[in-house]
Structure 1
């Protein structure tokens, strides 16, 4: 039987929904090191009456009353409308239930309408999801997050307070690696008196390593004292919100950070490059896994260079791809030992680095072992728990980024590797006879965009696109580079090019619109002069690509392969409606693109 108190609460939330009697209060989120405003978190509050509910209770009651989804949607619209009316800057962080996220991802037309109706573009919105309830429908949640990422939204995971051993939870870290959240938020329970708690400092330090290993930004919530802020900064947490900065307000003014933050305390950067930034793979098996199972895993993942062997989340050894596959490539030899445990084949003499070691230290350790071992992948651990695997190629790339030189090692604007590292990567794959797919991408209608909006705005588009490509390195791509201008390269496993590029095209098409004015969006493009000096309407900046799957083809240099890619990409310019040309086994196929993905337009002559 429902209690009178619960009945009253349900009546209150239904009445709030019926009359849209909700207000949005905003609290700033800042970066301490750069003294920058990242954005604002929206808090939904009901009417101030004797029957009013605290915000968490309001949403719990809405769920019990069966109206959580429309309640969520009302709060989202109210927050976006208030955010726009107040002309608040940067990102809007807003809580949304996992159920609402999953339901919305299935209603693609409704999401499209939601994006169109909102005055705040999807690229400025961060959807905060509930970590505690994630295990209830994990596969659907992962799929929903990927869908919203493709629509241009960013995602944050929140509400970690009910989870034990956050820093050491392998299942939680696995979820994060699959969801790939843009932000991870540590709530007040981890932050309160962190300066006086060794256990909390240990937890924060562990989460910093995990967040950086998957490319997520960590935000500390509920910072209320300068001592807490100082300790968080020392631990590597630079993004914070809380009463120390500013309480939630109905009509806030951006905090004056120069007055708020101690200039001497935060004068020097401590954003050092650490070993946790080098994680490129989390491939691992348990010590009891059979040799046959490991062989099948490596056979199915041709770009997996090594696998960690773990027991109770601690690394016991490593399997290096090349010697293992060479030894067991013949079935007769495998059949003799296929049921044996992989522990009998693992190498226990491995390089083990701590997640918080400086990259310069890792480089010295790798160099000192280089003449001793033919295989150079290394294990990265966080408080003795397996975090991931690092490779020498990625280590070299990171060291190069720390020493930017004007010799094509790295593009100064986008910070992606330039011509020399791209060529080295390609030639290494060719020398090893490793099949791969490579895409040369450029931005169609980029020149008229530059002429119309300025080169500074064009640079912003290039940086945005570089970040999209960099994100693909976490999705399975092998290498991303910037040749120069608006020409970029993405190297991928041979059979994964279509899925990875679909994600790139979808995200770019959504994000590029934020660089246009409302009038240009309404008219479907910009009016600018063409090469003949005539004014005409140019479509929005879009992507075109020449893609080649390289198996047994011979190329004496990267330049000869690049020449063929350029010729492939030019085919998309000649045939109206196509955006991608793919060469595989001497056959060229052309593709157009729509919201569902690439559409096969047939074989090209």
Structure 2
């Protein structure tokens, strides 16, 4: 046994001495811009070695108190391989708390290595793993403050694996948080996992962090994560870790991304045409990464309107050069003589914002709001299937967003500010064109007119605004759409799986809200005394809700008119049920059209429209 251990120690020492560590890189996809954000560096031992697998390698290092030595060797091997391949974007480096506090990491060696390799510190993300217990939290916080001050970003790994990393999140405020693969595998079919991740997403928004879903292996989970609005993803479905990783997204990943999720905001540019990065594209002739700095300066001097120059390797964008930064550098004495003939790669931004042409305006705006400030000045590079197409500016993006907001305001209901009939119809037509199943729910307030006549339009407006607020609270803003048809009529397009529960919760909460608008005696009686249409004093019930719901599958309706007619018919059934059977215990009525909206029902819908 001792001999075996001695052999293992010797092999480990040889691997470290001879630099035989074997880094592989796994791409991390940014869903928001449909592009590779960067790569996580993973380490392997030499092929054919008993320490080839990372678990064996790190276990051996732990047995001989060589873990820190191994980590430092892993970091250097990963950085050299990353720089040697000129990989774009960020590099995620795994770091244990012990290594983070080690003086060898803070003594300037890493900074010297980055300078030697030409890698900017803001491209490095230190990914803190939970392989060992943190015993010195103040020391960790101080160390991370040190690294952040030098441009590094922070990530915590395997969120959900233990309680310790929840504390890390609250204490460290990382830029990236990785969700443990347990919660990602099967999330499309598991409501519990879905809601766990949704809760993590809410925390991420509050903490201004980007979530990375790890372990995506199935297309169903990939699409679910994308539609939830999770920022980034990583896993075998996107790409396997390789020594020479993919630089362009694989075809199956692009195909899954092309199953476009439907935006919920009103359109500009006509029905069904959502502005994307392509609409902001301006063609600027790029420079090759081997072009000299003098050539770049000449381009800027020849065209005063040129603010940035994209840099490409072949047809793939690899960097961006800012006009003011470049000219400022060369305004200093002897800079042109010293650096004029050197490659422009020396001064370019190696991690520009690169987005796919299909990235939506909303996704771009969200990305820029979370990105470093220099992206607002530099703008972004637009690609098609990974190939350079042009650049877009933040100025044009803001102008487009302003136009969209003006358009949304033009068609919004003035009382509730919710989308009115035009955006409602456009959204239904988009859903139908995409062949996406949904549930249309027509919402109407019963006995609203007597209440409005008795208590005045101001109290009536309070009821309508209360309902609008409740509807917005009950839907999932990333999946569902709420519109205000007019008066006391509302329309919801649900894609949430638990839509029926949300409907009943709305009915219940509306009943409670209306009761609070009445006096104690009126609340106990469930209504109030008022004049009816004949001028006679009679009892009037408190306003309640009637909801008519219709499931719409792919190909079952041709236009928003048919959906509106079917939902209106369901709403009438809900009101009839409330009148004939009395108000249901929850304080309202929900009628669900159980029949398939097929040819027979469509004929009825169409005849009702003629």
TM-score (norm 2): 0.43
Higher-Rg member (1/2): 2
Higher relative contact order (CA 8 A, sep 6+): 2
Query: TM-score of the superposition, structure 1-length normalised?
Result: 0.43
